[in-house]
Amino acid sequence: MKIVRSPHELKTILKEHQGEIGFVPTMGALHRGHLSLIERARKENALCVVSIFVNPTQFLEGEDLDKYPKKFEADEKICSIAGVDILFYPQAEDMYEEDEIKICSPNVRGYVLEGHVRPGHFDGVLTVVMKLFNIVTPTRAYFGKKDAQQFLLIMQMVKNFFMDVEVIALETMRESDGLAMSSRNVYLNDAERLEALKIGKSLKCATNLVIQKVFEAERIDKEMREVLSPLEVEYISIVSRSFVPQEKVEIGNSIILVAARLGATRLIDNIWI
């Protein structure tokens, strides 16, 4: 596995490459969720590129940029064992200069749910993904359904800018007790970790309701809140696959999302119905 820090060096290396390129952008502190994306990228492409970059522009003032878990040595080993060909590990100054042109997320879809709680977050996400796509020129790029809004906005950016990359969303990987894997889970103390299970349970409850043909968003919302209580729920939302709020769940076209706070930690999770 080759570790490359400079965007220009990576561009030069990849220009020489003929076959298909699979790309997995990450912020590091890798877990099995990331690994599932890497495995798929390896399987479907001649070359697998993973980036590790804690992108400062997607963090708001006062968020966890400084304490975001950094585990480069462990990540490097994981990538090497997983068969990654190139690990791209740039620093902020390699990626940004002062007073830059930025990508703006769309007015509605970029500013509801996560974008409402974290205004401007998706501008940073889309800007860095645009940069990374231009550096790596992937044939296919792999993302997690766990960050559903992020994935849908990246899909929209690729469409709106006529970009030449196939974006693929993969299922959320969970711990055996149902907690969605996340690099931020390390922030949880034992009591919070236990409470956090209510998030997955609330989504299970929503799924069971849908199986019983209960489709009304209001009823699902109410029952999910009962499961989540007394957690501090930031939002529960039922939206279409293009992020339009729905009064009724539509099988094959709904995503049920939840965001909750456990102490200082925000966790998000969702289920694609």
Q: Is 173 in the site for ligand AMP (CB under 6 A)?
A: yes
Residue listed under structure tokens 């102490």: 263
Report 34-63 residues binding ligand AMP (CB under 6 A). Answer: 34, 36-37
Instruction: List active site positions.
Output: 34
Q: Is 90 in the site for ligand AMP (CB under 6 A)?
A: no
Of the candidates 126, 130, 110, the one whose C-alpha atom is nearest the C-alpha of residue 118 is 110
* Terminal Cα-to-Cα distance of the chain (whole angstroms): 38
Whole-number Å distance between alpha carbons of 209 and 217: 10
Task: Kindly indicate which of the ranges 130-138, 179-187, 214-222, 246-254 contains the residues binding ligand AMP, using the contact rule CB under 6 A.
Answer: 179-187
Question: What tokens appear for 125 in the block?
Answer: 């996400």
Output the smallest distance, CB 44 to ligand AMP, in A. 16
Residue 62, number of CB atoms within 10 A of its CB: 6
User: Is the distance from CB of 255 to CB of 241 less than 8 angstroms?
Assistant: yes
Output the smallest distance, CB 69 to ligand AMP, in A. 10
Output the smallest distance, CB 185 to ligand AMP, in A. 9
Q: Is 23 in the site for ligand AMP (CB under 6 A)?
A: no
| Sheet strands side by side (includes 140-144) | 2-4, 86-88, 47-52, 21-26, 140-144, 166-170
Output the smallest distance, CB 225 to ligand AMP, in A. 23
How many residues touch ligand AMP under the rule CB under 6 A: the total is: 17
Contacting positions for ligand AMP (CB under 6 A): 26-27, 33-34, 36-37, 143-144, 146-147, 170, 172-173, 180-183
